[in-house]
Structure formats: C-alpha cells, structure tokens
Amino acid sequence: MSARAPGRPAVLSRPLIVAAARWIADHDGLDAMTVRAVAQRLGTGQASLYRHIADRRELLVLLADDVAARLPLPREGLEPGEQFTGQWLDAYDYLRGHHWAARIIAEGAQVRAGGAAFADSALAVLTTASGADRGDALRAFRVLWHLMLGHLVNSHPVGHPRTHEDAGTAPGPHDEPSPAPGTQTPAPPSDAARDDFAWALPLVLAGLRRSPETR
C-alpha cells in the first residue's frame, strides 16, 4: 500500500527525508511540512524518521543547508561589478522561489557548511571588485547577506495556503512596514523589493571601496 512517491524508496536516509521535506515546503509551504506529512510522502511511519533525524528542528537545519548549497555562483566572463550584482540578484531570485528558507533562518537556524561555496565565491568577487582586505570583505558579505534576508523575509510566502483572507488583514499594496500615511507607494510593478535590493547592492560595494578609513 501507498505507492505515493514516483518509485517508492527502498530504504530511508537523511537525503531522502530532506528531499521529501523540500518538496512539501516548496509545494504546500513550511507549515504543511510536518513530520507526519514527510513520513506519509515517503510511505513510512512517522516514528521511523526519528531513526535518521533528531527532531523537527534538525530537519529544518538540514533543509536550510540544502538550499544554501544550491545558491548560485558568479557567472564567468563579466566585469567584477556586474559579477557582484549578478550573483546577489541570482541568489535573491533563487531564494524567492524557496521562501520558507528565509523563515527557517529567522527561526534561529544557522546556515553552515552548505553555504560555503556561495560565501567563498561571493567573498572572492567582493575582494576583486573592491580591493578591500579579507576582514572588510567579510563584513560587507555579512551586511549583504542580512540585506538580502531582510528583503526576502518581509514579503508574503508565495505558495502558501493562506491566500485570500490576509489581503483583508493587510490593506497596503503588499510590502513596506508603513510607508507613511496618505500617499502610498504608487502601485509598484511586480517585485518592488527586488528593485530596492538591486538599488542597495552597489551602495555596499561603494562603501567597501572606501572602507579602510572606516576601519
């Protein structure tokens, strides 16, 4: 019974569990990614999962790490400034498609090994484009990461179940904490947050270029 997944897995393993959890989070949102749902998708009992993961929190960490490992690398053959902007916008676009990842981090998980490739390459691009030393580049990287995280976190989950009734709760267009009364933002195109992020990226690079005086 239960031939749910295309090709019922022979044995359980952490990668299989993470893949199933990822599928559910992408399709039905993070709240639907319950231990029960993951077990059901794998055609097994919930208790069986606990032979491979300690608890749900560990599964969330594994998920965040899995996403981090797929963060884009810089594109080849570009001028350093464009390489810098491009990689971060690529990362933004990628994470926007897995919105739950930002939420996991907001709940306290730390992205660890999985983000190393992205971090290393982004640091290299930053160093090349700015001429800054490693300490300053690291600081700029952290600022950029948090800038991206903030932009991602403050927008509605896309593939989420709740779709209709929270439009009633939030009267504004769809973003901004409180754009001051009266004149709202004049109905932004589609992803105003992405435009904001793109606007802010070069500012950090410019700051890094003249950072030694600050340090």
What is the contact surface with DNA in residues (CB under 7 A)? 11-12, 34-37, 44-48, 50-51, 55-57
Q: What is the C-alpha to C-alpha distance for residues 50 and 195, in angstroms, rounded to an integer?
A: 43
Find out whether 84 and 129 touch, Cβ atoms under 8 Å. yes
Q: What is the C-alpha to C-alpha distance for residues 87 and 76, in angstroms, rounded to an integer?
A: 10
Residue 169 in the binding site for its own copies (CB under 8 A): yes
Residue 146 in the binding site for its own copies (CB under 8 A): yes
Stretch in the footprint of its own copies (CB under 8 A) among 13-21, 44-52, 74-82, 189-197: 189-197
Structure tokens belonging to residue 121: 């390459």
Binding mask 93-132 for its own copies (x = CB under 8 A): ---------xx-xxxx-xxxxxxx-xxx--x---------
Of the candidate residues 13, 75, 134, 163, the single one contacting its own copies (CB under 8 A): 134
- CB closer to DNA out of 43 and 81: 43
Residue 88 in the binding site for its own copies (CB under 8 A): no
**What CA–CA distances, in Å, run from 34 to 42, 44, 107?**
13, 14, 16
Q: What is the C-alpha to C-alpha distance for residues 48 and 44, in angstroms, rounded to an integer?
A: 7
Q: What is the C-alpha to C-alpha distance for residues 129 and 146, in angstroms, rounded to an integer?
A: 20
Structure tokens belonging to residue 131: 């001429």
Closest CA to 82 of 198, 189, 213: 198
AA letter at 215:
R
- CB closer to DNA out of 45 and 173: 45
Q: Footprint of its own copies on this chain (CB under 8 A)?
A: 57-58, 61, 68, 102-103, 105-108, 110-116, 118-120, 123, 134, 138-139, 141-143, 145-151, 153-154, 156-157, 160, 162, 166, 169-172, 175-181, 183, 185, 192-193, 196-197, 199-200, 202-204, 206-207, 214
